[in-house]
């Protein structure tokens, strides 16, 4: 709150503050306008504003949806194994990501990295892993280790390191400095400082990120079957190839139910670790 006495004594300062406020508003308005222009251009280039084309496609979507009914659950027993494989793939991929992300986060955080060069290299590795899509990694690993869940786990895990490691590193950088300084004052080693001064602060956030990433990896596991990585996605792609839309609809409904269960379990685990 501005002191009236200060206003009367320092009108130039008040005018300066008002001028700075107007400048900040102009800058913010310019940034918002630039973003909106970019969004409009993107919508135009991708033909999202092409109403005629969208109107032509809607009836086709409706036709496909109608061909899914009635849903065909006749092969539901054959989907149990692939569905379990999908869950296992998502859990294993998330576990691999967390195991690799913790040490990478320590190296990629400014306040725990042993050297600026190590920090830059660790950040570059995280950016590289994050930039390569899971499906591309899946294709590479299928070619390297063959078909099955293993290439799916490797693809999900390594891609997740790029994002999970980044979140973990940022959590370390935002850790409150007082516990860290207290640990350092006792003569603790660098690893002891990280263990006792940093990890207790960031563990709840780590748990949240891990659960969110598991939810994401489960959804991605369902499409890894496109590249031969197994799971329920293989059944879905097989039904799509023969245009068996009733089974496609049934598998999609099964996947939706599984995603709901995973989300519910993830929320429960997230509350448990808070």
What's the start-to-end Cα distance of the chain, in Å?
Answer: 38
* Token output for 239: 């039904």
pTM of this prediction exceeds 0.85: no
The residues, ordered by sequence, that sit 6+ positions from 217 with a Cβ below 8 Å of its Cβ are 89, 90, 93, 94, 97, 156, 160
CA–CA separation, 105 and 99 (whole Å): 11
For tokens 């920090």, what's the residue?
119
Cβ atoms 161, 197 nearer than 8 A: no
pLDDT digits (tens, 9 = 90+) for 31-58: 999 999 999 999 888 888 877 777 777 7
pLDDT digits (tens, 9 = 90+) for 44-101: 888 888 777 777 777 777 777 777 788 878 778 888 888 888 888 889 999 999 999 9
CA–CA separation, 96 and 152 (whole Å): 12
């Amino acid at each position: 709150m501005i002191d009236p006495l200060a206003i009367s004594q320092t009108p130039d300062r008040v005018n300066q503050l008002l001028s700075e406020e107007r400048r900040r508003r102009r800058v913010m308005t310019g940034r918002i306008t630039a973003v909106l222009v970019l969004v409009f251009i993107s919508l135009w280039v991708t033909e999202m504003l092409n109403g005629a084309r969208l109107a032509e496609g809607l009836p086709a979507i409706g036709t496909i949806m109608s061909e899914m009914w009635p849903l065909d659950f006749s092969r539901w027993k054959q989907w149990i194994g692939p569905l379990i494989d999908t869950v296992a793939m998502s859990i294993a991929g998330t576990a691999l990501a967390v195991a690799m992300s913790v040490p990478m986060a320590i190296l990629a955080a400014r306040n725990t990295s042993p050297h600026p060069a190590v920090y830059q290299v660790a950040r570059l590795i995280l950016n590289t892993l994050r930039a390569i899509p899971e499906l591309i990694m899946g294709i590479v690993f299928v070619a390297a280790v063959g078909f099955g869940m293993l290439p799916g786990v490797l693809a999900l895990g390594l891609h997740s390191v790029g994002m999970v490691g980044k979140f973990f590193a940022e959590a370390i950088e935002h850790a409150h400095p007082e516990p860290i300084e207290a640990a350092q004052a006792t003569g603790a080693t660098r690893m002891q400082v990280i263990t006792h001064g940093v990890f207790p602060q960031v563990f709840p956030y780590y748990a949240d990120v891990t659960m969110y990433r598991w939810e994401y990896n489960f959804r991605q596991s369902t499409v890894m079957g496109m590249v031969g990585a197994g799971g329920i996605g293989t059944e879905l792609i097989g039904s799509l190839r023969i245009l068996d839309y009733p089974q496609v609809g049934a598998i999609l409904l099964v996947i939706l139910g599984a995603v709901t269960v995973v989300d519910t379990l993830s929320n429960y685990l997230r509350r448990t670790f808070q």
